Amino acid sequence: MPDELMTPGFEYCFELRCAVDDEVPLGGATPGEGLHFARVSGGDFDGPRLRGRILDSGGDWWHGRGLTVTLDARYVIEAEVTGGFAGIEVVNRGIWRTDADTFERMLAGEDVGEEELYYRTAFVFRTEHPELQWLTESQFVGYARPEPGHVVIRVFRLV
């Protein structure tokens, strides 16, 4: 057994700007608690490895408990490839959490950066397009941040 563990490396690939509609509560009487759905209604993405558009095609099911939220999103993006665009199914699961002071600042409308939230996700991409097989052959993680009407996620490939 090796004495040292390998240090993970990450390659920045692209940033998703997902337009997200207002949430729909799916039960539970307390605002922000319990199960909710928010439709992913469009957007775009761009970066050194990939660019394209996010289709009005799915959504994010999330469950809130206190200042922690678990996320389970599924939607479709189209990436630029030789001769046009190719579809990619995105499955993105993650955790959002913060502390009471930061949450109060968010409610007051202040901008809160990625470093002030634990908003991390893990991706699985599925596509049959030969130019995009690299997406199906690696693990990807994201650092997310909220913006008005959007969720913005910087996507990294674990190398």
What's 143's domain CATH number? 2.40.160.20
Specify if 104 maps to a domain. no
β partners of residue 154: 15, 143
Specify if 102 maps to a domain. no
Specify if 103 maps to a domain. no
CB atoms within 10 A of CB 132: 17
Q: What is the pTM of this model?
A: 0.91
pLDDT of 53 strictly over 90: yes
The count of structural domains within the chain is: 1
Specify if 9 maps to a domain. no
pLDDT of 29 strictly over 70: no
Q: Give residue 91's identity as a one-letter amino acid code.
A: V
pLDDT at position 82: 97
Specify if 124 maps to a domain. yes
Specify if 4 maps to a domain. no
Specify if 84 maps to a domain. yes
Q: Give the contacts of 146 (CB within 8 A, at least 6 positions apart).
A: 106, 112, 117, 119, 152
Q: Which domain holds residue 29?
A: 16-96+110-158
Task: Determine the average pLDDT of the residues in 70-91.
Answer: 98
